[in-house]
Amino acid sequence: MILIMALAALSSYLGIGMLLRLLKHQQLMLDIPNERSSHSQPIPRGGGMIIVLLSLSGIMLFTLLYQPEDMLPVGLLVLGGFCVAIVSWRDDIRPLSNRVRFATHIFAAILVVIALASWRQVTLPFVNSTNLGWLGIPLTIIWVVGLINAYNFMDGIDGLAGGVAVVAGLGWALIGWYLHVPMITIFGVILAASSLGFLGHNWHPARIFMGDVGSAYLGYAFAVMPLLALFFLPNQEQSNALTVFFIGILLVWPFLFDTVFTISRRLLNGEKVWTAHRSHLYQRLVINGYPHHVVALLYIGLAFCGLISALALVLDLPGSIFILLIWIPLLCVALWRFVLYKESSMQHQFTQYEKR
């Protein structure tokens, strides 16, 4: 497993390096700064395509060699990921309409439902399992499409999306190993390793960006993971494995919280959700003086807290319910209050400066 991770990381680093030289030489796919951007100079984008190619080819090769009987569902998942990646790559070259991108995301989510089925029931703390019935289908589609876009929204500063992908991929690899689901282990290892190789070029100051091709695809991959885990778990473990749903949330919770919080805030303020902006919590920290790598490390640390929490749930450690009901919500509030404190502090300093 360590050899696979090292090989994937090295392949990603070298592949992105070659892509970077090509894009710079041809002056292609340059990310021109706009209202949403946190950089000031044009930088090549599209490095995420290497993550896509390594992970999709890796999971297909593993299925072909070790689980050929599962080629159909895995093939559908790969097709969905490929569709998301290709449309996003095209969008990186020349912007597409929201309608085209959104339709592609829905199509990919439908492929996931066909391949793995939908969420059939959920288990909440202190409540028995609830059968979702047909509602599981639209909820699954919303989950997949939502995480695709959430991850895309959060790819706005150097090292952030790639760093969280390393943590989330590693988390799924460990959980797949514990649950004896090698498909999840391999997929998680390749995602983590290829994202680590990408960080070699994307850590601040970045030389290349992931682009929508990488961020949208990673959102798709991490949305698929819990459904893939449930699909391959033995039937007798299905009832206990419903915590996998919460694991899927915990491993990317900083991105989900920041996105939901920001969208809700913009809706309440009467702002257009889909227009370019810099009002995400991570963007507000950068605006108020924190360098990219510090904010990225903060979110990576929060994601690591989610990883530890997810492992506690899987191991059914005492106090696991505390994680869901108190620990993560407290971290959400702490992040929000920290941003407000920083903004207030900067405003106070600015006011004092004006009085001089």
Give the model's pLDDT for residue 244.
Answer: 83
Give the model's pLDDT for residue 105.
Answer: 98
For residues 258-268, give the mean pLDDT.
95
Give the model's pLDDT for residue 318.
Answer: 82
Give the model's pLDDT for residue 124.
Answer: 55
220 has a pLDDT exceeding 70 = yes
125 has a pLDDT exceeding 90 = no
Q: If pLDDT is split at 50, 70 and 90, which confidence band does 346 have? A: confident
The whole-angstrom distance between residue 39's C-alpha and the CA centroid of its chain comes to 21
Please return the burial class of 148, using the count of CB atoms within 10 Å of its CB with bins 0-12, 13-18 and 19+. Answer: buried
Instruction: Give the helix ranges, DSSP H, for the chain.
Output: 2-26, 48-66, 71-93, 98-116, 136-154, 160-178, 182-202, 211-232, 243-250, 253-268, 281-287, 292-314, 320-322, 328-355
55 has a pLDDT exceeding 70 = yes
102 has a pLDDT exceeding 90 = yes
Query: Rounded to an integer, what distance in angstroms lies between the CA atom of residue 107 and that of residue 188?
Result: 23
Query: Rounded to an integer, what distance in angstroms lies between the CA atom of residue 31 and that of residue 51?
Result: 19
Give the model's pLDDT for residue 237.
Answer: 55
- Select the more confidently predicted residue: 62 or 269: 62
Residue 34: phi and psi, rounded to 5, are -135, -165
Average pLDDT, the chain: 89
Query: Rounded to an integer, what distance in angstroms lies between the CA atom of residue 214 and that of residue 209?
Result: 9
Query: Rounded to an integer, what distance in angstroms lies between the CA atom of residue 299 and that of residue 281?
Result: 10
Q: 45: helix, coil or strand? A: strand
Tell me the three-class secondary structure of 243-255, residue by residue: HHHHHHHHCCHHH
Residue at token pair 């569709």: 83
Q: If pLDDT is split at 50, 70 and 90, which confidence band does 271 have? A: confident
Q: Tell me: cis bond preceding 73? Omega within 30 of 0 counts.
A: no
Within-domain flag for 334: yes
339 has a pLDDT exceeding 80 = yes
Domain holding 171, by residue range, is: 2-27+46-355
Residue at token pair 């490390």: 297
Within-domain flag for 80: yes
Within-domain flag for 37: no
Within-domain flag for 40: no
Give the model's pLDDT for residue 238.
Answer: 54
Please enumerate in sequence order all residues whose Cβ is within 8 A of that of 191, keeping only pairs 6 or more positions apart, or say none.
51, 55, 165, 168, 169, 172, 218, 221
Within-domain flag for 144: yes
Q: If pLDDT is split at 50, 70 and 90, which confidence band does 38 have? A: low
Give the model's pLDDT for residue 246.
Answer: 86
Within-domain flag for 41: no
Query: Rounded to an integer, what distance in angstroms lies between the CA atom of residue 351 and that of residue 104?
Result: 48
Q: 12: helix, coil or strand? A: helix
Amino acid at 229: A
User: Cα dist. 163→24, 117, 197, 294 in Å?
Assistant: 24, 30, 10, 12
Within-domain flag for 231: yes
Query: Rounded to an integer, what distance in angstroms lies between the CA atom of residue 339 and that of residue 344?
Result: 9
For residues 267-281, give the mean pLDDT.
85
47 has a pLDDT exceeding 80 = yes
Of the spans 35-39, 167-171, 311-315, which averages the highest pLDDT?
167-171
For residues 110-118, give the mean pLDDT.
88
8 has a pLDDT exceeding 60 = yes
pLDDT tens-digit map of 160-179: 999 999 999 999 999 999 98
Within-domain flag for 38: no
Give the model's pLDDT for residue 326.
Answer: 87
According to DSSP, the β-strands at 130-131 and 43-44 are unpaired
Q: What is the dihedral of CA 34, 37, 42, 45, to 10 degrees?
A: -120
Q: If pLDDT is split at 50, 70 and 90, which confidence band does 236 have? A: very low
pLDDT tens-digit map of 128-148: 566 667 788 999 999 999 999
Q: Domain tally for the chain?
A: 1
Please return the burial class of 166, using the count of CB atoms within 10 Å of its CB with bins 0-12, 13-18 and 19+. Answer: buried
Amino acid at 51: I
